[in-house]
Amino acid sequence: MTDGSSQAWLDRYARSVMQTFGTPQRVLVRGEGPYVWDADGNRYLDLLGGIATNSLGHAHPLLVAAVTAQLTTLGHVSNFFASAPQVALAERLLQVAGAPQGSAVFFANSGAEANEAAFKMTRRTGRTKVVSTLGAFHGRTMGALALTAKEAYRAPFEPLPGGVEFVPYGDLGALGRAVDGATAAVFLEPLQGENGVVPAPDGYLAGARRITAEHGALLVLDEVQTGIGRTGEWFAFQNPRHEGVVPDVVTVAKGLGGGVPVGGVIAFGPANATLLGAGQHGTTFGGNPVAAAAGLAVLHAVERDGLLENVRTVGAHLRTAVQSLGHPLVEGVRGEGLLLGVALTAPVAPKVAEAALARGFIVNAARPDTVRLAPPLVLTTAQADTFVAALPEILDTVGEGVSS
């Protein structure tokens, strides 16, 4: 009989899987709602959600039924043909994004692929200069990596596609000085997730829209981590504090498929929708009927079950509860909805994540001084409170020996 323990699986992993991600923390074998279980039978409250991906949690009945039903009818076709789920998902995305008449969607398989496609769209403007921000993360494919500021990710693969200039995130003055008549596009995240959950300041997106419009440049918003209800709106740019900004392009992935790989580029208006013409870009699996069915199921569940309101309610509760602990290691909580960063007073976030895992909670260190929370949108207040109740002990264990 094959040993089914975590250690046995880790041994097999080490012998067969590229060590791109290092040694896995656990071997997970099943999930239900916001919980997962490892190969040794231990249960964890998943407060990371596959990094903001498992929007409906694990094994959600509606998602399971939609994918199963689609596989029994039509699993895959090439993009020489259309499928009903593909068309319906595109229509629904345009609707929830508030995109005007003449807008269109290109489907991909991931956030990096969506940003790669958006990068190619910028070249079709006839300009080659692109402005991104320090702290940005747009993916690890060569084009998406060119838009990503983190040197540790970039250096091993340079030279990357050129023409990208980085400015400080949230600094409208710097953005205004960088954008000129040669600029094809500005890429921005409404909230920088990988940089420690850093929200755009009030007025920043609206200011970026004014600057790009003045110079005829595209405003591309990367909503891969923030889209599909993560911040309490369908998309983060729809938060009223962003003053009704209308972007040219929005990229989406992660939570759209609820764990099934799907990504997309939403081009606002007919001029932007035609930037990638026939034969100028493609994908084998993008818009796959099964992935599209998953996306439709997620959007339906978010609307049917009032998950946008749930995200706002549980997110606000979680933020307040953590801050109210008054723990000396907690500086504050940043973020929106259920994308939160617990800012620490010492660079011990990796140790906090490790200690939390030992106590049955999955979180991650977005940076040395920030613990990121991105749980399923179905998380309840009671479930969140189990983490809040355990957090002081977790922090106390990590805080031993940390100077004040």
> Residues annotated as binding site for N(2)-acetyl-L-ornithine?
140, 283
Cis preceding-peptide flag for 159 (omega within 30 of 0): yes
Q: For residue 284, give the nearest of 3, 8, 79 by alpha carbon.
A: 79
**Cα radius of gyration rounded to whole Å, the chain:** 21
Annotated binding site: 111-112, 137, 140, 222-225, 283-284
Name the β-bridge partners of 129. 183
Return d(Cα 286, Cα 277) in angstroms, integer.
16
Return d(Cα 252, Cα 62) in angstroms, integer.
21
DSSP H helical ranges for 29-110: 49-52, 61-71, 84-97
DSSP 137-154: ---SSHHHHHT---HHHH
Terminal-to-terminal C-alpha distance of the chain: 53
Annotated binding site for pyridoxal 5'-phosphate: 111-112, 137, 222-225, 284
Apex 247 CA angle, 311 and 373, nearest 5: 25
DSSP 255-301: GGTTTS--EEEEE-SHHHHTSS-TTSS--SSTT-HHHHHHHHHHHHH
How far does CA 52 lie from the centroid of its chain?
5
Structure tokens at 21: 């991600």
Q: Are 136 and 108 in contact (CB under 8 A)?
A: no
